[in-house]
Amino acid sequence: MAGPRKMQLKFIVPKIAPNQERDRFLTETMGECWHEYDPDSPVMALWFKGYTCKKCGEFLFGNNDFSTLEDFMKLLNWAGNQEALSSIVSQFEPRYFVKEETGFRARKRFADVLYGLLSTARRKKGNAER
């Protein structure tokens, strides 16, 4: 008679995307331009120093950074208007996004969850089309 079988557990740790990869994916998923520009060639407009996108020609200060409140609100508003994402958006308490002590972590978590969900869905769709 054989001894007791050992149970083997397998943990799947989600891959956390570097912010730039995540932010680029989410920006393009929102239908916006992920700007290409030369950081060594700024453009002066009035008293602002910015850049001109090589793809869309827009004057900009940089790409979306969803860890900042201003850029994050664009993502939250977009996600809130997507019916397919309503169950995800409703799981988060918006007040935590703006509080100084919880804002950064809450915004990062929301963006990471959205990135994980949407990138997985895109991969599955791509595999199904093959």
pTM of the model: 0.78
- Does pLDDT of 9 surpass 80? no
**Angstrom distances, CA of residue 74 to CA of 23, 27, 36, 58, 122:** 12, 10, 20, 17, 21
Q: Which two tokens stand for residue 78?
A: 């977009």
48-73 per-position pLDDT tens digit:
889 999 999 999 999 999 999 999 99
> Is the Cα dihedral 61, 117, 84, 73 positive or negative?
negative
Report the percentage of the chain scoring pLDDT > 90.
67
Domain boundaries, the chain: 19-32+64-128
